[in-house]
């Protein structure tokens, strides 16, 4: 996943790129960015339904990451 993110950033260095993925690949990319171990408890992931994890690149290198849940206010039926 991280290779795909880097390739997408390199292909569009002056713009935004949107990638859609499942929870685990995004979480692993985030852990790689944060220099954290991949071994973890899946219940502790910060990765809500319809969440957005963003990586900012400068000169081809990742410099920042952000996380948002723009649909968090929508109640999901149980």
pLDDT tens string 20-31: 888 788 888 888
Alpha-carbon distance 27 to 65, whole Å?
A: 12
pLDDT of 19 higher than 90:
no
Q: What is the pTM of this model?
A: 0.76
Alpha-carbon distance 10 to 8, whole Å?
A: 5
Domain residue ranges of the chain, discontinuous segments joined by +: 2-68
The dihedral region occupied by 69, where left means phi > 0, alpha psi between -120 and 50, and beta the remainder, is: beta
According to DSSP, the residues that pair with 66 across neighbouring strands are: 54
C-alpha 46: how far from its chain's center? 10
C-alpha 17: how far from its chain's center? 12
Tell me what pLDDT residue 56 has. Answer: 92
| Segment 53-67 mean pLDDT | 91
pLDDT of 64 higher than 90:
yes
């Amino acid at each position: 996943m991280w290779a795909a993110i880097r390739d997408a950033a390199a292909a569009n260095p002056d713009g935004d790129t949107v990638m859609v993925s499942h929870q685990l690949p995004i979480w692993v990319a985030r852990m790689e960015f944060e220099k954290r171990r991949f071994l973890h408890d899946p219940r502790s992931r910060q990765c809500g339904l319809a969440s957005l994890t963003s990586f900012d690149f400068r000169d081809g290198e990742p410099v920042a990451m952000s996380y948002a849940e723009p649909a968090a206010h929508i109640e999901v039926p149980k």
